[in-house]
Amino acid sequence: MTLASSLTTIVTSIAGLSVSGLTIKNTDAIPEQADLQYPLLVPRPNEFITDLHSERTTFGINGTARVDLTYNLNYVFLYAPAGTGVSELDAYSGMITMMVAIINAIMSNDTLSGAVDVNLDGVSGIGIIQDPANNQYWGCFWAMHVTEYVQP
Amino acid sequence: MAKITAKNAILLVNGYNLSSWGSSYEVPTEIDPVEVTGFGDGSKNYTPGMKSGHIAMDMMWDKDAAAVHAVLKTPSTGIVSLMPEGYALGNPSFSLPYMQANYLPGANVSEHIKVGSIVFESYGVNVGVEHGIALAHATITDTTTGVGVLVGAGTFACYCVLHIWDTVSSDSYVITVEEADTLGGAYTNVATFTLNGQALNAERILVASAARKAYMRAVATRTGAAGDTLGYSVLFAHS
């Protein structure tokens, strides 16, 4: 028998979430630069999957046991180019508003297809960050904690 | 002897293989101490009283057919067996004619639904938990003659247990336990099970104490030509 993680299904489910004004990308659509596509929430290319942990919860060998699989999926939020607006901080309020919308979307959709549970596990780096082309944006980094019950 | 992992354990309840829902087990055997301390004794002392034993298994919830909820929701009687090291010919086994004492579905919001620690108490006149060996645990499609296992010749009662956990539809099987003086010698019948493999179930045969030979094996003889898959386990213990 074979045990199979639903990680790719879950990432696709996250890309399918609806947050007004925000584009959420899957791993096969990470743009090299965010021009004309922001606000964007994209998988973070470096360390997309972290804190991976599998725990056997029942007896069984060679794919017959039940396993709890947990991990973090890490995303980059690119809201608006740095320098947008009259002052440096004009984009800040809108960014926070959209971050709250992201929080609400995750909290309201904790059983995405493929996962038993999806929770937010932290936000960091709120401020000026870079897209893969080193363009500067107002944004931050998100960690989403995923729990799967992997069963034969 | 090296440490042995517990992850290979096989849990059989009346023919249902519940291994992949079980998370822990215990098989306690206890003897009531009867105090016989007398005047002048330097310390309290005891003599063995009644023996008792049970098998307890912690299980996950599953509502599917032939899974935990369907099998255990109505406490009943039957045969429970456990192979703590998994199956290899001659591996240790525990078996017990049981009365299921409880069923305890419950959950914590951040965990799996569980059915608690199911206690299988000794049922009927027996010797309690039977510590034996595994003679067979396999899926087969045709007559299969097992390899003998050395149990040692002697005079003892035999406790033979059969679990059918994957049934045949048109074929049928006669499953027996046989004995011989030597591994490659001539085998003769010890016990013949009545279960023919066409229904999930378990059966225990008590063979009264008699002179027994050194080697025991399990044989499954097919009638029919369909080649259906039979899943079965044969466990042997003696007094």
Q: What is the pLDDT of residue B21?
A: 96
Interface test with A, best of B7, B19, B20 (most A CBs within 10 A): B20
Mean local confidence (pLDDT), B181-208: 97
The answer to whether residues B83 and B137 touch, using CB atoms and an 8 Å cutoff, is: yes
Whether B54 shows a pLDDT value over 80: the answer reads yes
Residues of B in contact with A57 (CB under 8 A): 23, 60, 112
Show Cβ contacts of residue B109 under 8 Å, excluding neighbours closer than 6 positions: none
pLDDT at residue A102 in the model = 95
Residue range B164-188: average pLDDT? 97
- For B217, residues 6+ apart whose C-beta sits below 8 A from its C-beta are B135, B145, B146, B147, B148, B149, B177, B178, B179, B180, B187
The DSSP bridge partners found for residue A43 are: A75
C-alpha dihedral sign at B92, B96, B101, B102: positive
A26-79 confidence digits (pLDDT tens): 999 998 887 778 999 999 999 999 999 999 999 998 899 999 999 999 999 999
Q: How far apart are alpha carbons B161 and B232 in whole angstroms?
A: 10
DSSP string, chain B: -----STT-EEEETTEE-GGGEEEEE--EEEEEEE---TT-SS--EEEEEEEEEEEEEEE---STTSHHHHHSS--EEEEEEETT--STT-EEEEEEEEE-----EE-TTS-EEEEEEEEEE-SSS-SSEEEEEEEEEEESS-EEPPPEE---EEEEEEEEEEEEE--SS-EEEEEEEEESSTTS--EEEEE-S--SSSSEEEEEEEEEEEE-SEEEEEEEEESSS---EEEEEEEEE-
User: What local confidence, expressed as pLDDT, does residue A152 receive?
Assistant: 84
At B59 the pLDDT is 96
- Write down how long chain A is: 152
- Mutate which of A59, A66, A147 to test chain B, going by most B C-beta atoms within 10 A? A59
pLDDT of residue A140: 96
* Confidence band, pLDDT 50/70/90 cuts, at residue B103: very high
Residue B231, chain A, CB below 8 Å: the answer is: no
Pairing of strands A23-24, A40-43: parallel
Structure tokens that stand for B25 in this block: 């087990």
Question: Which A-chain residues 66-105 have CB contacts (< 8 A) with chain B?
Answer: 66
Q: What is the ipTM of this complex?
A: 0.84
Q: Give the number of A-B residue pairs with CB atoms closer than 8 Å.
A: 37
Which alpha helices (DSSP H) does A35-152 contain, by range? 92-107
**Whether the bond into A45 is cis, omega within 30 of 0:** no
Reply yes or no on whether the pLDDT at B175 is more than 90: yes
In contact, A10 and A144? CB cutoff 8 Å: no
pTM score, whole prediction: 0.88
Comparing C-alpha atoms, which of B185, B176, B172, B174 is closest to residue B215?
B185
Residue A61 has its nearest CB partner, among B11, B60, B86, at B86
Question: What pLDDT score does B32 carry?
Answer: 95
- Write out pLDDT tens, residues A87-141: 778 889 999 999 999 999 999 987 788 888 999 999 999 999 988 888 999 999 9
Residues in chain B within 8 Å Cβ distance of A56: 7
Q: Do B60 and A56 touch (CB under 8 A)?
A: no
Look at B22 and A58 and tell me if their CB atoms are within 8 Å.
Answer: yes
| Cα nearest neighbour of A117 on chain B | B110
Distance between CA atoms of residues A95 and A101, nearest Å: 10
Task: Give the pLDDT score at A90.
Answer: 85
Rounded mean pLDDT of chain B?
96
Nearest by CB: B60 against A58, A64, A152: A58
Contacts of A57 (CB under 8 A, 6+ apart): A65, A66, A67, A68, B23, B60, B112
